[in-house]
Amino acid sequence: MSFGDAITTVLRKYADFNGRAARPEFWWWILFYALVAAALGVFNVIPIGDASSLGAVLSSLWGIAMLLPTLAVIVRRLRDTGQSWGHVFWLLVPIAGLIVLAIMLSQPGKPGVVTA
């Protein structure tokens, strides 16, 4: 799966928590998300109001808009590895939870295994 195909697939399945997501689909999406977030960070030097900047506002809007497709692709990727969707809650544990979840999401897919 190419970079463009992965982005198109994730956005097409914006709120689809069913099915599976292969490793390339997930990791290309994460790269796209990080690149856009970094690009929006460039606008942090443009102040709007007393305590905010254009970059902060744009980054917040980007994060809110992409929360659902990111959670959906994480759940589909967990299903592909044979894990349950409940492992998403590892994101609530600072640092260690992100590491544990990244390891789970890096595992190869298991053919025929779909956990509800």
What is the model's pLDDT at position 48?
74
Specify if 113 maps to a domain. no
Predicted TM-score (pTM) of this structure: 0.86
CA gap 64, 35 in Å, rounded: 16
Cite the DSSP H helix spans in 13-85.
23-41, 54-80
**Is residue 115 one of the residues assigned to a domain?**
no
Identify whether 116 is part of a domain: no
Q: What is the pLDDT of residue 113?
A: 57
Q: What pLDDT was estimated at residue 5?
A: 94
The answer to whether position 99 is within a domain reads yes
Domain of residue 83, residue span: 3-106
Question: Is residue 67, in this structure, part of any structural domain at all?
Answer: yes
pLDDT digits (tens, 9 = 90+) for 3-59: 999 999 999 999 999 989 999 999 999 999 999 999 988 887 777 776 778 888 888
The pair of structure tokens assigned to 55 is 């970059």
The answer to the question of residue 64 being in a domain is yes
If one counts the domains in the chain, the total is 1
pLDDT for residue 114: 59
Torsion of CA 64, 70, 75, 81, to 10 degrees: -160
The closest alpha carbon to 61, from 72, 52, 73, belongs to 52
Q: What was the pLDDT predicted at 115?
A: 55
Each residue's pLDDT tens digit, 73-110:
999 999 999 899 999 999 999 999 999 999 999 999 88
On whether the CB atoms of residues 55 and 42 are closer than 8 A, the answer is yes
